[in-house]
């Protein structure tokens, strides 16, 4: 079982400027509705994802002004 208090996120190697709002998301989840809302594109500055993310969804994020990083 996942417990948020035990989660650790490493930003090593991810070029994020101080005070930017970043969202890390598995590419298979990009563009899909979930039980809980994480953040709308207007509420983040950077989206970090992987190669599985659909290109049309990433284009929509970029059009909204979000910097997209595929790690």
Question: Exposure pattern of 32-57 as b/e (b: 16+ CB <10 Å)?
Answer: eeeeeeeeeeeebebbbbeeebeeeb
Check pLDDT > 60 for residue 38: yes
Q: What are the pLDDT digits (tens) for 50-65? A: 999 999 999 999 999 9
User: Which phi and psi angles does 65 have, rounded to 5°?
Assistant: 95, 10
What is the pTM (predicted TM-score) of this model? Answer: 0.68
- Name the least confident of 10-19, 30-39, 57-66: 10-19
Task: Please say if the pLDDT value at position 66 is more than 80.
Answer: yes
Q: Does 40 have pLDDT greater than 50?
A: yes
């Amino acid at each position: 079982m996942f417990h948020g208090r035990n989660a650790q996120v490493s930003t090593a190697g991810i070029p994020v400027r101080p005070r930017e709002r970043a969202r890390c998301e598995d590419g298979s989840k990009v563009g899909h509705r979930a039980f809980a809302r994480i953040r709308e594109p207007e509420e983040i500055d950077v989206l970090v994802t992987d190669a599985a993310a659909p290109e049309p969804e990433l284009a929509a994020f970029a059009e909204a002004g979000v910097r997209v990083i595929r790690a």
